[in-house]
C-alpha cells in the first residue's frame, strides 16, 4: 500500500505580482493546527491583504484567511489568526532590516507542500505605482499579441 502523493501547489497569490515588484524570494515553514492543514488540502485559503510582520525577533504571517474545516467538530481554528513563520534568526533579522527601509514589505507569494509539510514562499516587495501597473498590463498584452502573430506562421 503506497502513500498517495499530495498536490504540490496549494494556492498562489496572483495579486502580489500585480501590486509589488518582488525580489529576494525565500521559503519558510508555517506553524498550523490540524484542521488548518485539512482546510489547506481542500484549497480553502485567501491571501487578500496578507503580509509578514516582525515582533520580538519572530516573524508572523498576518491576514492569511484559512477557512474553517467542516469536519473539525469542536476543535475549530480561528480563520484569521496570525501564524508564526519558521525561519532562522539570521533570515528574520535580514528581512526585518529590509522592511525597515521605506516602501518595502514582505508578502506571501504561494503556499505549497514540501515532503508533507506546508511551506510558504515569501518575497520582499516594493509597492508599484498605478502607472507601473498599467505599463505591465500593456506590455503583457503586446507580448500576447506578438505570440499570437508568430503562432499563425
Tens-of-pLDDT digits for all 153 residues of the chain?
A: 455 554 588 989 888 888 888 888 999 999 998 888 888 888 889 988 899 999 999 999 999 998 888 887 777 888 889 999 999 999 999 999 999 887 799 999 999 999 889 999 999 998 878 777 788 888 888 888 888 888 877
- Non-local (6+) Cβ contacts of 55 within 8 A are none
Distance (Å, whole) CA 65 – CA 71: 18
Neighbouring C-beta atoms of residue 98, cutoff 10 Å: 14
Residue 3 domain-assigned? no
Residue 29 domain-assigned? yes
CA 23 to chain centroid: 13
Residue 111 structural domain: 9-152
Q: What pTM does this model have? A: 0.78
Residue 47 domain-assigned? yes
Return the pLDDT at 6. Answer: 47
Distance (Å, whole) CA 111 – CA 43: 10
Residue 2 domain-assigned? no
Amino acid at each position: 500500500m503506497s502513500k498517495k502523493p499530495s498536490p504540490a501547489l496549494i494556492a498562489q497569490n496572483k495579486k502580489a505580482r500585480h501590486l509589488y515588484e518582488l525580489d529576494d524570494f525565500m521559503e519558510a515553514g508555517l506553524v498550523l493546527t490540524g484542521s488548518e492543514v485539512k482546510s489547506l488540502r481542500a484549497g480553502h485559503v485567501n491571501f487578500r491583504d496578507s503580509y509578514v510582520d516582525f515582533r520580538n525577533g519572530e516573524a508572523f504571517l498576518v491576514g492569511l484567511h484559512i477557512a474553517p474545516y467542516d469536519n473539525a467538530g469542536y476543535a475549530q481554528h480561528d480563520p484569521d489568526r496570525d501564524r508564526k513563520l519558521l525561519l532562522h534568526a539570521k533570515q528574520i533579522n535580514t528581512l526585518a532590516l529590509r522592511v525597515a527601509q521605506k516602501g518595502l514589505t514582505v508578502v506571501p507569494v504561494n503556499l505549497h507542500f514540501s515532503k508533507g509539510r506546508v511551506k510558504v514562499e515569501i518575497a520582499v516587495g516594493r509597492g508599484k505605482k498605478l502607472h507601473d501597473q498599467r505599463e505591465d498590463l500593456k506590455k503583457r498584452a503586446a507580448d500576447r499579441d506578438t505570440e499570437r502573430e508568430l503562432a499563425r506562421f
